[in-house]
Amino acid sequence: MTLLDHPRADSPLEDAPASAPDAPTVHPAAVIDWVAELAELMQPADIHWCDGSTRERHELLQLLVANGTLEQLNPELRPYSFLARSHEADVARLESRTFICSAEKIDAGPTNNWAEPTRMRAELTDLMRGSMRGRTMYVMPFSMGPVGSPMAKLGVQVTDSPYVVVSTGSMTRMGTAALEEIAAGAEWVPAIHTVGAPLAPGEKDVAWPCNDTKYIVHFPETREIFSYGSAYGGNAILAKKAFALRIASVQARDEGWLAEHMLLIKVTAPTGRAYHLAAAFPSACGKTNLAMLSPSIPGWKVETIGDDIAWLRIGADGRLRAINPEAGFFGVAPGTSAKTNPTAMDTLWGNTVFTNVARTEDGDVWWEGMTSTPPAHLTDWRGNAWTPDSGVPAAHPNSRFTVSARQCPSIASTWEDPEGVVIDAIIFGGRRATNVPLVVEARDWDHGVFLGATIASEQTAAAEGTVGELRRDPFAMLPFCGYNMGDYFAHWLDFGRRLRRSARVPRVFQVNWFRKGADGSFLWPGFGDNARVLQWMVERLDGTAGAVDSPLGSIPTADGLNLDGLDIDESRLGELFAQDREALRVEADDIETFFATFGDRMPAELDRQLELLRRRLAD
């Protein structure tokens, strides 16, 4: 048996049984046959079709506690919440082991790892043969987006990790309702996951089963996902980055929409008028903080629609609309506190699964930045005794929380609107100590695409690489675009042309909360005060805020930003918006080098935008 055929193809895998054990009450034949084929190959001891019920979740959580994967936290302090400690080699996204197996290498592009599809399928088949022995195969039908929404997409993932089932249950609309949509004829994305740790008869399991060999593989033409060896986060919760971005970005290109690494917020001004903004930031660069912003300025309100992924389409009314395809938050814990993100802390009151954070002596959780002073004694993310003198972090820098979005106090009433919310503006941002001002407004859509294509950010702990190193991360999609990014840029440009023909084009902005002064300190207070930048954007939409031109775009006039109550003098404000022409000319050369990696797939319009930037810097 091989995995050479798509599960919905006319020629099924050889010798496949007609149905799978424990089949659901609704009968999408293609799914049932596919599960049976995989069961023959992977040889699980049992098959469980997930219904997404509260009872099922409870039983899985108790199983995980019994297996030692989860530890239940003190119910008086953190009701019905749990702590997982992963294997030390399974703590982050594995970009080096993530592959795009397009039919042609050029279609994967220079920013993706490519492998020849037939050879990769054969290798995965060998790895997955017998990989679920001694374990249960869980079958998870799920909807990305509200079930039944015209903007939603469906998938089915098999896994042998109950931890992944619980996580997927938080992050998607998982269960019977999604399977019924598939049974009614909806298309679905097949996703196969195994931790790659079969159990021999009588063999004792480990708390966090995984394998040193790891693969996260995508077949964009056939919309398939395979994951082997990891049980961590986006490597294993395949509905998240693998489907909602890598596969969905290809679907979006082919179908004329956008699948983006973006948060979604609703901003309401003191006048009562509401605006919806989409914003792209690399992981661990403040996305969740902005998505759950508590404004420091009176009369302004920010509500959450999504903190990580947005799907955007031109609606029937010709306007740009967006949904959050996820149902939960998979957030970075370190740095989250009552000061930086009080809404997130309130969201985590209970019903939360924490991974790789520290445990307090009284059975609660802690991580760096949660309090100004660390507790005297903790159990760290490895399970070892810890004190402030230990010399190592108590929580892993990429430790996480997984929680339902419904618990978020700032969740907008429209967050599950099946038609999506109308997008008024798009924001791009990264973590830059120099060169990039606090905020600039693009001159038009094409210039906005240039801003998105040239985002660079200091490396964070969310992915492999040297922390602090600067890397280009266009649209914050570098690890997540499922096809050649030169074609991706062209798709954005074409999408803008379609918007111009139909309705008002959203404004585009770029922000940088992380600009540093000559003394190395941050120039902008950030967090709740970021609402002041949002206020300027909204007032630009209304035509009431002033702006002046600069080489990089429009910036606020001297009195354009609301600085009431802030201790920011004229000199510091000048540093926030300073544009060193020589440094920017050097950066333009770096952008040219980056663009050149895409060869003839690079849209001429973005090369033109780079030339226009150079002219403005020369004036």
Residue with tokens 């999506």: 420
Contact residues for 521 (Cβ-Cβ < 8 A; gap 6+): none
Q: Catalytic residue at 285?
A: yes
Contact residues for 186 (Cβ-Cβ < 8 A; gap 6+): 154
What is the distance between the alpha carbons of residues 105 and 120, in angstroms, rounded to a whole number? Answer: 13
**Residues 129, 143: contact at Cβ < 8 Å?**
no
* 328-332 and 400-404 strand pairing: antiparallel
Paired tokens of 301 = 């309100």
CB atoms within 10 A of CB 434: 14
φ and ψ of 597, to 5 deg: -65, -15
Contact residues for 341 (Cβ-Cβ < 8 A; gap 6+): 288, 289, 292, 294, 527
Amino acid at 47: I
DSSP 5-27: S-TTSSSPPTT--SS-TT--SS-
**Residues 420, 315: contact at Cβ < 8 Å?**
yes
3-state secondary structure of 163: helix
Of the listed 210, 285, 408, 481, which one is catalytic? Answer: 285
What is the distance between the alpha carbons of residues 259 and 252, in angstroms, rounded to a whole number? Answer: 6
What is the distance between the alpha carbons of residues 473 and 486, in angstroms, rounded to a whole number? Answer: 13
Residue with tokens 């918006």: 577
Phi-psi region of 273 (alpha: psi -120 to 50; beta: other; left: phi over 0): beta
Paired tokens of 392 = 């190592």
What is the distance between the alpha carbons of residues 518 and 542, in angstroms, rounded to a whole number? Answer: 35
What is the distance between the alpha carbons of residues 590 and 331, in angstroms, rounded to a whole number? Answer: 32
Paired tokens of 285 = 């660069």
Measured on CA atoms in the order 536, 541, 542, 546, is the torsion positive or negative? positive
Paired tokens of 291 = 């998505």
Strand segments (E) across 465-582? 470-472, 507-511, 547-550, 553-556
The CA-to-CA distance between both ends of the chain, in Å, stands at: 66
**Residues 286, 265: contact at Cβ < 8 Å?**
no
Q: Which residues are catalytic, by number? A: 285
